[in-house]
Amino acid sequence: MADIFELPIKVLFQHCDPAGIVFYPRYFEMVNQTVEEWHELGLDYSFARMHSEDRRGVPTVSIGAEFSAPSRLGDVLTWRLELIRLGRTSAHLRVTALAGDELRMVATPVLVCLDMDSGRPVPWADGVRAAMSKYLAAQ
């Protein structure tokens, strides 16, 4: 059975727009935070270490998102991350936000492992690949 990474994020004043709901670019900050905390807490490979020591990055090269229902100030969202496909230099994720049982949004970011000095994709390091594999969802 695949692992699923979960992260709670509270909807704060700074996330909300004049309509009183989460402004959607702020949702993408939460998606990014989920990916970042997955690296640190789920893969034991913090962004700080990745960027500073290994000079690697994981830019998002594409993303799709559906916003099913609005989120409001004070809602606590459960963000869930699953790995859909793991390529040699890429990772296809599904990141979902729930408030209780209600789906609020689903995003499908594709990350690429990048060498920051050359600006080119490189294969995932073996340890990172092994750690990621535990989150690979059954097809």
Rule CB under 8 A: which residues touch its own copies?
Answer: 12-14, 16-21, 23-26, 28-29, 32-33, 36, 40, 46-48, 51-52, 57, 59-67, 70, 72-74, 116, 119
Residue 40 beta carbon to its own copies: minimum distance, rounded to whole angstroms: 8
Closest separation in Å from C-beta 69 to its own copies: 10
Structure tokens given for 78: 């459960």
Taking the least distance from each CB to its own copies, the nearer of 13 and 138 is: 13
User: Cβ-count burial of 22 within 10 angstroms (0-12 exposed, 13-18 middle, 19+ buried)?
Assistant: buried
Whole-angstrom distance, CA of residue 130 vs CA of residue 95: 20
Query: For its own copies, which is the closer residue by CB, 62 or 133?
Result: 62
